[in-house]
Amino acid sequence: MQRSDYLLSQLDVLEAESIQIIREVAAEFERPVLLFSGGKDSIVMLRLAQKAFWPAPVPFPVMHVDTGHNFPEVIEYRDRRVAEVGVRLVVASVQESIDAGRVVEETGRRASRNRLQTTTLLDAIEEHRFDAAFGGARRDEEKARAKERVVSFRDEFGQWDPKNQRPELWNLYNTRIRQGEHVRVFPLSNWTELDIWDYVRREELELPSIYFAHSRRVFERDGMLLADISYANRGDDEPAFEATVRYRTVGDASCTGAVKSAAATLDEVIEEIAATRITERGQTRADDRASEAAMEDRKKEGYF
Amino acid sequence: MEATAPSPAAASGKQMDILRFATAGSVDDGKSTLIGRLLFDSKSIFEDQLESVERTSADRGEEYTNLALLTDGLRAEREQGITIDVAYRYFATPRRKFIIADTPGHIQYTRNMVTGASTADLAIILVDARKGILEQSRRHAFLTTLLKVPHLVVAVNKMDLVGYDREVYERIVDEFTAFASKLEVTDLTFVPLSALHGDNVVERSVNMPWYEGPSLLHHLEHVHIASDRNLIDVRFPVQYVIRPHASTDPELHDYRGYAGQVAGGVLKPGDEVVHLPSGLTTTITHIDGPNGPVDEAFPPMSVTLRLADEIDISRGDMIARPNNRPESAQDLDAMVCWMTPDRPLSPRMKLVLKHTTRTAKAMVKTLNYRLDVNTLHRDESAPSLGLNEIGRVSLRVTQPLFVDDYGRNRLTGGFILIDEATNNTVGAGMILGAK
């Protein structure tokens, strides 16, 4: 293809920027890891990592922080994808953290393992001596994330200090840390939800089936549709019913909401996303609804 | 296992490009309101975000929905009503995708403005029509030109509060134009607007029929940025060497590729190139892009070069053209913005310098002068640079860097300084006087 005008589409520019970030981190850190949940953002990130080093294999493992509250379709997808790409999978289990007494399970109807993941994640980073963890977070997702650096420093307790971040200029990233500290790296910082979907379409990437319309037993809580699975703790006053839904984000099954949708194909999903008037986290994440600063507070503790 | 190429990606349907712009101004100038307005009127604000902002506004007893609350993301920012850090915002129109680096305008946050401007194609400086050009406006204009942001827009805001008076606007235009003549401003545009009411933000205002220019958004959608890149001087900093030697595929056994992001010029297979520091010349045989082989590479593409001859090439090296090389320098002159309150920059100080993909130790030889960013006065007796101060500095580095004048190439002319004691990024440098 002849490009006499030297123009790139926005997806090409974003792809080039993400690949530059991934290569930089692989070059400057000793033990990076890519956080892979089987959600669309981490699927895109893994594809970018493949491209960054092709034809060589991805030079770092992937890690899934497993709450134990999973959608079976996502776990099935995760294992298949990891095998196709040929990367090593590390599973960090929240259940093991609970069994080992590192964290205490929340009680009550709204008990969630969302917050417990932070301890499991930080323990795994320490155990495997990872010094850089790629995350799929995007700045358009949430206002605390809008202020986060691409290469974001974490102290020896895994904490983020939003008021004391390293300035990031041009495409130069400060990768210097001391023993016991690490960085979180966000190669998708400048991507929007729609960019992710456009890229999934362009790359013909397979996604877990729950992203597309399907029939499911759900119940309503706080204006969201939650899957009727044992760990969602459905109460007697929360009647379950059959609905045609899809998931806009993939998180802990006990607190990730489905949306009513008939969009069964990628094109239909993209059309729906382009027209939606509600953010993905606002629509589907109970964990963000706790307060104005719910994400900021969790991030400071070391959350994704 | 994957096939030989990572994807059969078809060409993207949409040929939208990206405009990155920085906004400078304080909350008082209505900067957050302007950004809120751009997001709101381009339908990039979602209902749940708006509801949250409306609720908070109402709780505070504010008369209008305070769109500034959309951009102030951190708890401390909302509590104090100030913007602490650079925030990045996204919106798109059918013509372009926009990335906003929203930088705080207070004097103590010069470093944030410098950070936001470093990657910007365009900067918007907000001026309050009632107050005119302030010291802060001059500072923002100077920083924009120091960072070589190619396009500058002066948004004269709050025109509603001066009765949409043409004379007020023209006085500000004249005053700013006179000041800008002392700076190297390449493209300067003025727009009179009211961010609060939306005049000239997305739609042309009916309240200012005397203004014949485009609305701000129209300008952002149409400003020509493709020529801002340096497509003349080939600069390819080697970032990562790709050698899949463990592969069982015999074809890949001898694969040796040099990965990086093109920082300047256009590279093509068959081109003769020079490797620095060795000075050896060779020829590009293949260029592998993210979606397979390409017949040319230009900024900002991330590609992998394969070369005809086996040369010892590693990360931190540079590939250029034999008759157009960057300067190989161990002594640098640069404008440095100091970004830490921990300790001032002063002669004899030792730092770590990161430039392209190369990191070296550096020592401050001399501080030639400190620049007053408001008056442009040069203080040659200044002993040091404190937080948010800017000065001309001479540095000595332990190994040669392959540099260009910052004005010629922002990627091969810029560097960061890191304090080895804290590992913090403490300074940003723009190289001057390279050949």
Instruction: Please write the tens of the pLDDT for every residue from B366-414.
Output: 999 999 988 889 999 999 999 999 999 999 999 999 999 999 999 999 9
Cβ contact (<8 Å) for B48 and A279? yes
- Alpha-carbon Rg of chain A, whole angstroms? 19
pLDDT at residue B245, rounded to an integer: 72
pLDDT at residue B357, rounded to an integer: 98
- Nearest-CA residue of chain A relative to B100? A190
- Contact indicator for A25, A132 with CB cutoff of 8 Å: yes
CA dihedral defined by A12, A18, A20, A24, rounded to 10 degrees? -170
Minimum-distance CB partner of B226 among A6, A139, A293: A6
Cβ contact (<8 Å) for A54 and B6? yes
Minimum-distance CB partner of B428 among A27, A169, A202: A169
Cβ contact (<8 Å) for B111 and A198? no
Per-residue pLDDT for A208 more than 70? yes
Per-residue pLDDT for B133 more than 80? yes
Most confident of A2-11, A99-108, A271-280: A99-108
Q: What is the mean pLDDT of residues B216-227?
A: 94
Do you know the residue count of chain A?
304
Cβ contact (<8 Å) for B16 and A190? no
Question: How far apart are the C-alpha atoms of B128 and B162, rounded to whole Å?
Answer: 10
Q: What is the mean pLDDT of residues B37-63?
A: 74
Pick among B72, B108, B229, B261 to test the A interface (most A CBs inside 10 A): B261
Question: pLDDT (tens digit, 9 = 90+) per residue, A165-183?
Answer: 899 999 999 999 999 999 9
Question: pLDDT (tens digit, 9 = 90+) per residue, B353-368?
Answer: 999 999 999 999 999 9
- Contact indicator for B33, B25 with CB cutoff of 8 Å: no
Closest by Cα among B286, B282, B263, B246 to B412: B263
* CATH fold of B236-320: Elongation Factor Tu (Ef-tu); domain 3 (2.40.30)
Conformational region of residue B283, where left means phi above 0, alpha means psi within -120 to 50, and beta covers everything else? beta
Cβ contact (<8 Å) for A8 and B411? no
Checking ipTM against 0.90, whether it exceeds it is: yes
- Peptide bond before residue A57 is cis, with ω within 30 degrees of 0: no
The sign one gets for the Cα dihedral B315, B413, B147, B122 is negative
- Peptide bond before residue B6 is cis, with ω within 30 degrees of 0: no
Residue A85, min C-alpha distance to chain B (Å): 6
Cβ contact (<8 Å) for A23 and B296? no
pLDDT at residue A1, rounded to an integer: 42
Per-residue pLDDT for B66 more than 80? no
Per-residue pLDDT for A74 more than 90? yes
- Share of residues in chain B with pLDDT > 90 (%): 67
Domains B236-320 and B327-432 share a fold: yes
pTM for this prediction: 0.92
Chain B residue numbers touching A172 (CB-CB < 8 A): 354-356, 414-416
**Start-end ranges of CATH 3.40.50.620 in chain A?**
10-194+293-301
Domain layout of chain B by residue ranges: 17-227, 236-320, 327-432
* CATH fold of B327-432: Elongation Factor Tu (Ef-tu); domain 3 (2.40.30)
Cβ contact (<8 Å) for B112 and A167? yes
Chain A residue numbers touching B14 (CB-CB < 8 A): 9-11, 198
Per-residue pLDDT for A261 more than 80? yes
Minimum-distance CB partner of B16 among A9, A85, A166: A9
Per-residue pLDDT for B11 more than 50? no
Per-residue pLDDT for B89 more than 80? yes
CATH class of A10-194+293-301: alpha beta
Cβ contact (<8 Å) for B423 and A85? no
Per-residue pLDDT for A191 more than 80? yes
Q: Greatest CA span in chain A, whole angstroms?
A: 66
CATH for B17-227? 3.40.50.300
Residue B322, min C-alpha distance to chain A (Å): 23
Rounded to 5 degrees, φ, ψ at B319 are -115, 130
Pick among A2, A13, A20, A54 to test the B interface (most B CBs inside 10 A): A54
Minimum-distance CB partner of A167 among B231, B415, B425: B425
Most confident of A243-252, B138-147, B197-206, B234-243: B234-243
Q: What is the mean pLDDT of residues B130-153?
A: 92
Cβ contact (<8 Å) for A23 and B1? no
pLDDT at residue B319, rounded to an integer: 98
Pairs across A and B, CB distance < 8 A:
225
Minimum-distance CB partner of B17 among A7, A24, A51: A7
Chain A residue numbers touching B75 (CB-CB < 8 A): 292-293, 296
Residue A55 three-state SS: coil
Query: B303: which 2 tokens?
Result: 């590609």
Pick among A45, A172, A278 to test the B interface (most B CBs inside 10 A): A172
Q: What is the mean pLDDT of residues A60-76?
A: 92
pLDDT at residue A290, rounded to an integer: 55
Task: Tell me the HSE value of B100 on the side-chain side, using a 13 A CA sphere.
Answer: 26
- Contact indicator for B267, B236 with CB cutoff of 8 Å: yes
Cβ contact (<8 Å) for B86 and A166? no
Other beta carbons within 10 angstroms of residue A30's beta carbon come to 8
Average pLDDT along chain A:
89
Question: How far apart are the C-alpha atoms of B394 and B383, rounded to whole Å?
Answer: 14
Residue A74, min C-alpha distance to chain B (Å): 20
Residue A215, min C-alpha distance to chain B (Å): 26
DSSP at A53: H
Distances (CA, A) of B228 to A6, B187, B223, B297: 12, 11, 11, 16
Which amino acid appears at position B33 of this protein? Answer: T
Residue A55, min C-alpha distance to chain B (Å): 6
How does residue B83 score in pLDDT terms, banded at 50, 70 and 90?
Answer: low
Minimum-distance CB partner of B47 among A23, A27, A278: A278
How does residue B3 score in pLDDT terms, banded at 50, 70 and 90?
Answer: very low
Q: What is the mean pLDDT of residues B273-301?
A: 97
Chain B residue numbers touching A174 (CB-CB < 8 A): 354, 416, 418, 423-425
Question: How far apart are the C-alpha atoms of A225 and A283, rounded to whole Å?
Answer: 10
Minimum-distance CB partner of A167 among B111, B249, B352: B111
Conformational region of residue B379, where left means phi above 0, alpha means psi within -120 to 50, and beta covers everything else? beta
CA B351 to chain centre: 23
Residue B86, min C-alpha distance to chain A (Å): 6
pLDDT at residue B6, rounded to an integer: 35
Cβ contact (<8 Å) for B424 and A166? yes
Bridge partners (DSSP) listed for residue A152: A184
Most confident of B67-81, B115-129, B239-253: B115-129
- Contact indicator for A299, A144 with CB cutoff of 8 Å: yes
CA dihedral defined by A157, A163, A169, A171, rounded to 10 degrees? 40
The sign one gets for the Cα dihedral B340, B346, B352, B355 is positive
Question: How far apart are the C-alpha atoms of B435 and B421, rounded to whole Å?
Answer: 33
Per residue, the 3-state secondary structure of chain B, as one string, reads CCCCCCCCCCCCCCCCEEEEEEEECCHHHCHHHHHHHHHHHCCCCCHHHHHHHHHHHHHCCCCCCCHHHHCCCCHHHHHHCCCCCCEEEEEECCCEEEEEEEECCCHHHHHHHHHHHHCCCEEEEEEECCCCCCHHHHHHHHHHHHCCCCEEEEEEECHHHHCCCHHHHHHHHHHHHHHHCCCCCCCEEEEECECCCCECCCECCCCCCCCCCCCHHHHHHHCCCHHHCCCCCCEEECCEEECCCCCCCHHHHCCCEEEEECCECCECCCCEEEEECCCCEEEEEEEEECCEECCCECCCCEEEEEECCCCCCCCCCEEEECCECCEEEEEEEEEEEECCCCCCECCCCEEEEEECCEEEEEEEEEEEEEECCCCCCEECCCCCECCCCEEEEEEEEEEEEEECCCCCCHHHHEEEEECCCCCCEEEEEEEECCC
Which amino acid appears at position B348 of this protein? Answer: R
Residue whose token pair is 């009211």: B194
